[in-house]
Structure 1
Amino acid sequence: MADASLQPSRSRDLDKLLLRPGNLVGPRFEPGPEMRDDLQTYARVLVVGAGGLGCELLKDLALTGFRNLEVIDMDRIEVTNLNRQFLFRLEDVGKPKAEVAAKRVMERISGVNIVPHFCRIEEKDISFYNDFNIIALGLDSIEARSYINAVACSFLEYDSDNNPREETIKPMVDGGTEGFKGHARVILPGITPCFECTIWLFPPQVKFPLCTLAETPRTAAHCIEYAHLIKWNEAHGGTAFDPDNPKHMKWVYDEALKRAELFGIPGVTYSLTQGVVKNIIPAIASTNAIISAACALETLKIATECSKTLSNYLTYNGTEGVHTKVTDFERDKECLVCGPGVLIEVEPSVTLQKFIDLLEEHPKLRLSRASVSHRGKNLYMQAPLVLEEMTRSNLGLNLFDLMGKLSKDIVHVNGTTTKNDQKITCLRKLSVVFRGVDGVTDMDTAGGA
């Protein structure tokens, strides 16, 4: 039997980073086994998404030394996932991705504890996200990234000089892939650009004229969008299409196939139907692995300060050879998400219901169906029904009283707004000022209520 002392240490490569000093380390980095032990004991990382990139992230983070991981994903495993989402098997089809991914990693890597959450990211209270040291994103949706970005930025507080308080910064590491291309970025709210600061990096989604869909379809995508955007409403008036409902997707596929046969258009498949309707970007396993490795390394650097972090956006292109580039983007100081908060000035007598109504009229916000929270307490929640019933009585009370009679403080609002002609869920941080309280007087609020 081989001498155990001669066996290579599982943390050998990690020890090279954490057990010795370096020229690029952070100011609080102290090399030694305590650093490695603290990483395994205290660091808590949330992985958002358990798809192609999320599977790689869970595996890489566990192998990097993180022991306390959680993963959240709302999807179930489909056959089309199996070519690149390596943690899943054929017998897993139909099961929640988060639960199977967590189970598989824990089976292969001893000592790691991964807690899965099979739900929408919006279903978790904001306080849930505040329990993590770092949030790692493996998403394929702009809307989901925007939401998590807003949640992380909602914890950010500024001092009297409008400098971010370090202890309130919630670091995020975001990865994304598209075929042979990918990106990895580090987001430190208040310091680096947040996701909303650089939303312009993402090209607008392809849209087809309705007249083309209805009268002169030329491609398989035209047939699919006809079934999705026109035929569904005709056949299911009043029932919203759910892209995550397999029965809904199958109906659109069947109708698109009929449309394609009518016009002699080939190429309509169930996989393509999913891709068009859900705007799914083709994914390649090798790209996911490369981007995940970059994200895992940045997560380690943030947690330990064993080296300087990426500054702040890495692009990868493996189409012809391998090309990488790092770009240092600047933060938008007027950003509504990572800034000090949209300033709202109201009378102390305004009720919570009137305040919610004002949010819908505010030119910078235009928030409908708003839920309001203050310092972790739910003042009013639109959903679920049990919380709506519990907080409904607050609607007639003065906001000033509900906020503890403070002349100025931050509230968080979760509601819906319109972006690119689509209604999306968003979270906004508001700096609420009450007129005439403790010397507060009218001020220029740049569109305040």
Structure 2
Amino acid sequence: MPDRSIISPYLLPDPSESAEEIAQRAATRIAYIKLAPEDKYVDVDRVLDVKGPFADEAFQGGNEAKQFLRNVCKVLVIGAGGLGCEILQNLALMGFNDIHVIDMDTIDISNLNRQFLFRESDVGKSKAVVAAAFIMNRVPGVKVTPYHGKIQDHDETYYSQFQLIVCGLDSIEARRWINATLVQMVDPEDADTVKPLIDGGTEGFKGQARVIIPTVTSCYECSIDMLTPPTTFPICTIANTPRLPEHCIEWASVLEWPKHFKDKKLDNDDPDHIEWLYQKALSRAQEFKIEGVTWSLTQGVVKNIIPAIASTNAIIAASCCNEAFKIATTSNPYLDNYMMYVGNDSLYTFTFEHEKRPECPVCGGETIEFEVKKDTKLERVVEMLTERQDMQIKKPSLSGPNGPLFFQAPKQLYEATKANLEKTVGEILQEGDQLNVTDRALPFTLTLRIKFVA
């Protein structure tokens, strides 16, 4: 067994060490990771062998906790990007031996600076598949099952097999979908249907970690109004009076691409497409004497890329995995229920309990009352829905007690219902009627109860 006294896995080498000593330290740490399971988890065992002052009453400790953690507990990790790579590593080294991972993306050269499970030779391959293989190679005894695809490819039966779900997503829509799915799975008479969801997210030097116990704590939808809407630019500004480099890029992608390529869809991941947009935006910027248009900015605006910081990913992933460990072992109380981290100027964290929202369409169990004047046109109702911060709706389609009122797609339904946009709410609905709203951003049907106001 390697000398544990020189491992210090969470400390940087002493600056006075020679290159040979640093290499020896690294080799020792790798050897330590590859020890037999009963040796490499010796530090974790110290936590599980002794009941601490904050341990849950249900905490048993000893072999029972170890057996559950290493042989029973099945964890799903959603996302194998910057945050997901850190989560997978942490879970494997903490003793979770049955891990599944889902990711629909392939590895890009730009991922390599922070997604440390990947190498240049992996570019173009599935993130989930490569990450799973890397973890299993470096941490013997751990089984990681990858799935290359969308979370929506699986039904409730698939998700019911897991004891824990940890999210390292960069998509609000995906978070809303998995949150709604887990809430809908809950059977009040069966505690095993409650699947804790641990959600992590990062944005530059900021991050958050939260624990969601479906139907017990607030769910993701309860806090949807905390999210900042995506930055949008008025079409008139883009077309006539651009002032920022972003205006020029939006002009190229929103107005010029459809004009030149008509039915050809813009592929945000195609370098040739980004190059075309860059050249167009650069020409536009020069015309209006605007500086700052670059190839990377063009890609960032089109793909809505937020700079990722490796240290932020590591901190948030550590918090998420810490909560997973506490829930799985009951060794300490889990987070109740929201932790925010800010690292712009210094290190700052704040933990608070985000309360359930009574009118939450996912876990609130109540139909939302929608106040509107009788003479309001349906077109204005559509606008009102998109303006509400607590709904985060983009292109809603509406139906009432007698069927479709307005549908954005398919084209046949749009043509058949667009005339209703000019009608008033009083003409097509009665007070107390239910208005059903669907949208690509919603993983459920939103039901509103109409209330007329003066």
Q: Normalised by the size of structure 2, how large is the TM-score?
A: 0.72
Q: Match of 1:13?
A: 43
The 1:416–1:268 alpha-carbon spacing in structure 2 relative to 1, beyond 3 Å, is farther
CA distance, structure 2, for counterparts of residue 366 and residue 118 of structure 1: 38
> What's 1:54 paired with?
84
**1:168 Cα deviation from its structure 2 partner:** 2.2
SS at match of 1:361: strand
Query: CA 1:327–1:19 in 2, change beyond 3 Å: closer, same or farther?
Result: same
Q: CA deviation at 1:139?
A: 1.2
C-alpha distance in 2 between matches for 1:226 and 1:3: 62
The equivalences for 1:226-237 within 5 A come to: 226-237=251-262
Alignment correspondent of 2:60: 30
Deviates more, 1:39-48 or 1:243-252: 243-252
Structure 2 matches for 1:251-400, cutoff 5 A? Answer: 251-340=276-365, 360-362=398-400
Counterpart amino acid of 2:176?
Answer: S
Asked if residue 173 in structure 1 is aligned to residue 198 in structure 2, the reply is yes
Question: How far apart in 1 are the matches of 2:406 and 2:166?
Answer: 27
Matched, 1:75 2:75: no
Secondary structure of 1:105's counterpart equals helix
Alpha carbons of structure 1 residues 232 and 369: separation in structure 2 relative to 1, 3 Å: closer
Could you tell me which residue of structure 2 aligns to residue 417 of structure 1? Answer: 438
Q: Are the counterparts in 1 of residues 201 and 208 from structure 2 also a CA contact under 8 Å?
A: yes
Structure 1 residue aligned with 2:237: 212
C-alpha distance in structure 1 between counterparts of 2:407 and 2:185, whole Å: 22
Gaps of 5+ in 1: 160-164, 344-358, 371-414, 431-444
How much has 1:366 moved relative to structure 2? 9.3
Question: Which shifted more, 270-279 or 171-180?
Answer: 270-279
Question: Counterparts of 1:33 and 1:254 in 2: how far apart (Å)?
Answer: 63
Cα distance in 1 for partners of 2:201, 2:104 equals: 18
Question: Would the alpha carbon gap of residues 23 and 114 (structure 1) be closer, same or farther in structure 2, given more than 3 Å must change?
Answer: same
For 1:24, the aligned partner's letter is F
Match of 1:45 among 55, 69, 75: 75
Question: Is 1:151–2:181 an aligned residue pair?
Answer: yes
C-alpha distance after superposition, 1:215-256 (max 9, x if no partner): 222222112211222222223334444435555445434433
Does the 8 A contact of 1:77 with 1:92 survive in 2?
yes
* Structure with the higher helix share, 1 or 2: 2
How many angstroms apart in 2 are the aligned matches of 1:367 and 1:17? 58
- Name the CA shift for 1:55/1:250 in 2 (closer, same or farther; >3 Å): farther
Q: Structure 1: how far apart are the matches of 2:205 and 2:308?
A: 8
| Structure 1 residue 278: Cα displacement | 2.4
Answer yes or no: is the 8 Å Cα contact 2:356–2:364 preserved in 1. Answer: no
The AA in structure 2 aligned to 1:317 is V
What CA distance in whole angstroms lies between the structure 1 residues aligned with 2:298 and 2:136? 34
Offset, 1:299: 0.7
Residue in 1 aligned with 2:154?
124
- After superposition, residues 93-104 of structure 1 pair within 5 angstroms as 93-104=123-134
**Aligned equivalents of 2:152 and 2:277: distance in 1?**
26
Q: Distance in 1 between matches of 2:218 and 2:405?
A: 23
Please identify runs of 4+ aligned residues in structure 1 that moved more than 6 A: 1-4, 365-370
What letter matches 1:203 in structure 2? Answer: T
Measure the CA separation in 1 of the matches of 2:267 and 2:406: 23
| Aligned-residue offset at 1:293 | 0.3
Per-residue deviation, 1:261: 4.0
Instruction: Describe the SS at the equivalent of 1:213.
Output: helix
- How far the C-alpha of 1:290 sits from its partner, in A, is 0.6
Task: Name whichever of 218-227 and 176-185 sits farther off.
Answer: 218-227
Larger Rg: 2
**Matched-pair contact (CA < 8 Å) for 1:182–1:315:** yes
Within 1, Cα distance between the matches of 2:270 and 2:407? 26
| RMSD across aligned positions (CA) | 3.2
TM-score by length of 1: 0.73
Percent sequence identity is: 46
The total of aligned residue pairs comes to 364
- How much has 1:172 moved relative to structure 2? 0.5
Q: Does structure 2 conserve the Cα–Cα contact (< 8 Å) formed by 1:154 and 1:428?
A: no
Structure 2 partner of 1:87? 117
Letter in 1 for 2:102: I
